[in-house]
Chain A
Amino acid sequence: MLQIDCPFCGPRAEIEFRCGGEAHIARPLKPEDASDETWRDYLFQRKSPKGVHFERWVHSHGCGRWFNAARDTVTDRFLAIYPMGEKAPSIEELKARLPDVGSPRHAYAENRVAPERVEGERP
């Protein structure tokens, strides 16, 4: 079960949360002047990256608060959780925090220790 670190309640199970889609989508300041393309992009165009994705999450079955999160879509690992309204951390910054972001192997390497080989045992 995926654990998500709610900034108010601490680590909780994923089923208490709901994802609100991509974060940092700014509404055009003057909608009446926005071109069809700008409006289309605002309404419909979303990223679907392989790697770091910035998302909005809400602890709907908990404190009910929204927050932003950076999630690695390959490993499902949450790389950063930060308040609504705050600027997204740069991917470089996240990479510095956690080397090898984007590789499916990094979660494996960090979470699991290879079993010790016993001499004479079959691999």
Chain B
Amino acid sequence: MAEPVFRSALADAPRPQAANAGLRLSDRSGLAVLDLRGGDPVARSAGGAFGHGLPTDMNRMTGEGASLALKLGPDEWLLLGGEGEGPAMLAGLDGAFGDEPHALVDLSMRFAAIEVEGPARRDVLAAACPVDLHPERAAAGFATRTVFGKADVVLAFKANSILILVNRSFAPYVWGLLVEAGREFGVAA
């Protein structure tokens, strides 16, 4: 059987030139995304197998580097990993839950990922996102599903950047909207 070939949904997107570095966009597509559904015991079991504890409070994120866990719903977590790590993460979590009812699905191929860096990142997101993006409300460790323009996105706030996960088919739209909103802050596409 032929191996699936990964091609970023943003491979043909125009690469903006950051004139004054107010905003930097990077394509992070390909990172591993696992969706975990289940109760709190499932989250506790997953913490041991995942390497660090899963968040217990809504809209919080734990972990560092590429290995992140986001709590997006009362019984829903997204587990992120580095590029191509999905199968290994699935294997690592296999059997971790015993008899606890749960669902664990590899969604890596569904998502495109965009990392937004630079001092203007909150202003650019605010162009089309209704969430309160003030640094006090959306500090590092905040993560939520919301809308950006017409697209359903997941936002993960890191210390110096914001990671946007979006369905593949919507990725060029979100990228274009970010570039458009970024023109005010020195981005030229």
Complex-state Cα separation, A99 to B55, whole angstroms: 40
Find the A residue at minimum CB distance from B152. Answer: A61
Contact B76 A64 (CB under 8 A): yes
Which residues of A are found within 8 Å of B152, using beta-carbon distances? Answer: 61
Complex-state Cα separation, A16 to B155, whole angstroms: 14
Complex-state Cα separation, A12 to B147, whole angstroms: 11
Contact B73 A61 (CB under 8 A): no
Contact A12 B131 (CB under 8 A): yes
Complex-state Cα separation, A8 to B58, whole angstroms: 7
Complex-state Cα separation, A16 to B58, whole angstroms: 16
Main secondary structure of the interface of A (DSSP, over half): loop
Asked if B144 CB lies within 8 Å of chain A CBs, one says yes
| Distance from B10 Cβ to chain A, minimum over Cβ atoms (Å) | 22
**Interface size class, chain A:** 10 to 19
Contact A8 B73 (CB under 8 A): yes
Which residues of A are found within 8 Å of B73, using beta-carbon distances? Answer: 8, 62-65
Complex-state Cα separation, A15 to B149, whole angstroms: 10
| Distance from A58 Cβ to chain B, minimum over Cβ atoms (Å) | 12
| Distance from A23 Cβ to chain B, minimum over Cβ atoms (Å) | 20
A56-89 vs B: 1/0 string, CB under 8 Å?
0000011111000000000000000000000000
Complex-state Cα separation, A13 to B152, whole angstroms: 14
